[in-house]
Amino acid sequence: MLFDFPQAPLQPLSLPWLATANVEAAILRLDLIDPLVSGNKWFKLRNHLQQASVSKAPGLISLGGNHSNHLHALAAAGKRFGFATAGLLRGHAQETPTVRDLQALGMKLHWLGYGGYRARNEPGFWGPWQARYPGWHCIPEGGGGPAGAQGCALIMEQARAQITALGWPGYDAWWLAAGTGTTLAGLVLAEAGAHAVHGALAVPRDHGVPDAVVALAGAHGYQLHDACRGGFGKFDDELLAFVAECELHSGVPLEALYTGKALLALRDKVEAGLFAPGARLIVVHTGGLQGRRGYL
Ligand SMILES: *Cc1c(COP(=O)(O)O)cnc(C)c1O
């Protein structure tokens, strides 16, 4: 299929606190699938790209902040697959490494201010943009919604194809960072109850994961864990030290906002005995490394 991507490697993840608890983990390196279209964002975009292709849309339009991994992946995918792209940005014009990349990738940028951006979920929001960009395919913030979630089912297939090569007889659970929860929803739907899926919420419950995703996880008996440490985009010294230490021990590059917070929440839960000795976990590296240029 035209918009399919290379296999993300599934690698043993070795960290002292996992060994102490006798919990085994492997990390699915979505950060390695492509230098530009990184992480879970390509999976979330896949069906949108297909829809845009079927409807012969000349371009793709979506929203995000000035470090947005989603807009970055969209701009790169647009360039790769021959779609024009437009990005609606939160706040006022600002140069960040991400914004420079978006421009270099040919994305047309519109700065909405803060109030304008807050209106993104109002019913009339897309009208003027559809008038300005006739026939373009509009993608919800973060690549969310059912089309985004369906593409994430492929994450499960990629991991399962590599379990035997790892020498594992099977696996017990997934662990991944959640923002909009779209990736999480995709895995929950794909697993259909076969294995537990744990979401580490990098965004506070009240303005992150939609109720529908929480309900979906709950319906399968899955737990969502708070990992946001005071808010999306907030850092603290313990988090940054933890990220540096994990990178050193595991050799896996991380960013603090999502993958770092998800691993720190995992450590706390492993130390609290959430997983029985001998448990095997698949940790998803959701990518996002381009974003860390903006804050580290
Ligand atoms: C966007 C992103 C997430 C969150 O994905 P959702 O599907 O919105 O939950 C997690 N990790 C990284 C690195 C991201 O860029």
Q: Could you report the per-residue pLDDT of 204-249, keeping only the tens digit for each?
A: 877 778 888 888 888 888 889 999 998 888 889 999 999 999 999 9
Across the range 69-75, mean pLDDT stands at 96
CA of 163 to the centre of ligand 1 (A): 23
In short, whether 64's Cβ falls inside 6 Å of ligand 1 is no
Confidence of residue 1 (pLDDT cuts 50, 70, 90): low
In short, whether 177's Cβ falls inside 6 Å of ligand 1 is yes
| 197 φ, ψ (degrees, to nearest 5) | -125, 115
Helix H, strand E, coil C: the string for 221-286 is CCCEEECCCCCCCCCCHHHHHHHHHHHHHHCCCCCHHHHHHHHHHHHHHHHCCCCCCCCEEEEEEC
Mean pLDDT taken over the chain: 94
Would you state the pLDDT for residue 2? 67
In short, whether 40's Cβ falls inside 6 Å of ligand 1 is yes
In short, whether 287's Cβ falls inside 6 Å of ligand 1 is yes
Structure tokens at 186: 């995709």
Question: By three-state DSSP, how is residue 167 classified?
Answer: coil
In short, whether 183's Cβ falls inside 6 Å of ligand 1 is yes
Over 90: is that where the pLDDT of 132 sits?
yes
Would you state the pLDDT for residue 192? 94
Q: 27-52 pLDDT, tens per residue?
A: 999 999 998 888 999 999 999 999 99
CA of 68 to the centre of ligand 1 (A): 10
Give the number of the atom of ligand 1 that is nearest the alpha carbon of residue 183: 7
CA 132 to chain centre: 29
Would you state the pLDDT for residue 202? 93
Over 80: is that where the pLDDT of 3 sits?
no
Would you state the pLDDT for residue 211? 85
Across the range 182-205, mean pLDDT stands at 94
Give the number of the atom of ligand 1 that is nearest the alpha carbon of residue 180: 8
| 77 φ, ψ (degrees, to nearest 5) | -65, -40
* Residues contacting 140, CB < 8 A, separation 6+: 62, 63, 148
In short, whether 290's Cβ falls inside 6 Å of ligand 1 is no
